[in-house]
Amino acid sequence: MTALMQVFFKVTQGQVANPEWEARLEGVSCKFRELADKAKGWSRDKAAAQASDG
């Protein structure tokens, strides 16, 4: 599982989510919308932490 995650992160590094698919998924599932909001918050927090470190 760890090796699979390493490959996934390497392959997807720098990619941006397709806004059309994001909108479709958010429209279908409130659970997905909540998960996406949490992920966006996590990435903003991580970016802010990295900015303050360097």
Work out the angle between the directed axes of helices 30-53 and 19-28 (0-180°, nearest 10).
130
Summarised one tens digit per residue, pLDDT across range 11-49 is 999 998 899 988 888 888 888 888 888 888 887 777 777
Which pLDDT belongs to residue 54? Answer: 62
Q: Cβ atoms within 10 A of the Cβ of 26, count?
A: 15
Contact 32, 26 (CB under 8 A): yes
Whether the pLDDT of residue 10 is over 90: the answer is yes
- Collapsing DSSP to helix, strand or coil, 18 comes out as coil
Does the global pTM surpass 0.95? no
Confidence of residue 4 (pLDDT cuts 50, 70, 90): very high
Domain segments of the chain as ranges: 20-54
